[in-house]
Structure 1
Amino acid sequence: MSNARPKPGYKAAQLWIVLLTPLVVILASTLLFYSGWLHPEDTTNKGELISPPLDISALGLEQDDRRWWLLTASTAGCDAVCEEQLYWVQQIHIRLGRESPRVSRSLLTAEPVALSQEFPGLHERQGNLDALPMDEPVQLFVVDPNGNVMMKFNSDNSYEDVLDDINTLLSRSTIG
């Protein structure tokens, strides 16, 4: 048996390593986080997130059904562009399949229009269009079940983009 003793200071060095390791990890992660390095720059959503979300009470509307809304907003009644968008929103709703009961289709205009015959299941609503961040005369918005307008789509978004985003929202959401 040997009576070899550790060198003086060996246990102190071990103690310092054990104590400083968490501190170094915390400092390094804080530095990386606040420097912006290794942050993803791309997102998977195709629509534009509205930040902060807009409460639908600002539009003069009320969330009455606790479902997701595909809200088509039109500043000039419902012209041919609006009707085409409503058709595509109807097709998106059909393509949602078993998830379609979680989503409601709505049209928001300043004055009443009568399209319930052409688009069964469409909820026609009147409200304050000025509160919406609209870039185009006819635009599609997503409203969550809590009554927040949280995403918008422009005319450069395809309807596949809209369907992808809605499917992603529905698959990750536990509300509505």
Structure 2
Amino acid sequence: MSRSEVKKYRKTPLLLAIVFVLPVVLAYLALSYDWFNKASTNKGQLLETVLDLNLINSELEPKWRLLFVMPQTCQQSCENALYSINQIWVALGKESDRVEPVVLVHNNSANPQSTQIVKHPSVVVLQVDEQNVNKVFKDDAADGIFISDTLGNIILKYPLKQQEQEAIQQSRDILSDLRKLLKLSRIG
């Protein structure tokens, strides 16, 4: 063997180590020292405990739902939420048949006829018992806009916004999350 062949054979294992081992070491270091953002892609708050919408009404058609529980008094944040769920539904376009905007109204809720909801016939007003709402939301507050999957599991929550511009931005976030869910789901 000549010297050039010996050098060639010595370089081969070194090159293999660089090509296969170096990326693994770099990936380990990147994860260990947080070189990359480990953030999630959803913009809403992912609920850790399963909230079952079927406790309210088990006869609901399997669809994705935008939920809002009508509070006792409908102030600006409530009006923003009612407007937002309708606008999100409209913005879904051809996917809107897979999503149903729902407002849950119970005995102590504000009168839905005196709110924005009368301007939006696409929003379904569902009369429910307050005890069933309390069963669904347990210790969690029911103030917010929620996304429910086709099986009736409430999975994402978005807080209510007082300012109109914040509510509009939040609507964009909800729409973004909902589009991702619809894209990944074949059901509903």
Same fold (TM over 0.5): yes
User: Which portions of structure 1, spanning 4 or more consecutive aligned residues, are displaced by more than 6 angstroms?
Assistant: none
Counterpart position of 1:15: 13
Q: How does 1:68-107 map to 2 (within 5 A)?
A: 68-76=64-72, 79-81=73-75, 82=78, 85-107=81-103
What are the equivalent positions in structure 2 for 1:137-148 lying under 5 Å apart?
138-148=143-153
**Residue 89 of structure 1: how far off its partner (Å):** 2.2
What is the one-letter code of the residue matched to 1:103? V
Unaligned runs of 5+ in 2: none
Structure 2 length-normalised TM: 0.66
Identity of aligned residues (%): 18
Query: Residue in 1 aligned with 2:29?
Result: 31
Report the equivalent of 1:131: 138
Q: CA RMSD in A?
A: 3.6
The structure with the largest helix share of the pair is 2
* In the alignment, structure 1 residue 50 sits paired with structure 2 residue 46: yes
Q: CA deviation at 1:141?
A: 0.9
CA distance in 2, matches of 1:57, 1:120: 22
Question: How far did 1:12 drift?
Answer: 3.0
Q: Which has the larger radius of gyration?
A: 1
Per-residue displacement from partner, 1:102-146 (whole Å, max 9, x unpaired)? 111212345487758935451415323342632xx7421111224
Aligned length: 168
Q: Is the Cα–Cα contact under 8 Å of residues 67 and 104 in structure 1 kept in the other structure?
A: yes
CA distance in 2, matches of 1:95, 1:132: 32
Partner of 1:158: 167
Deviation at residue 80 of structure 1 after TM alignment: 2.7
- AA aligned to 1:31 is L
Mapped contact 2:105–2:125 kept (Cα < 8 A):
no
| TM-score normalised by the chain length of structure 1 | 0.69
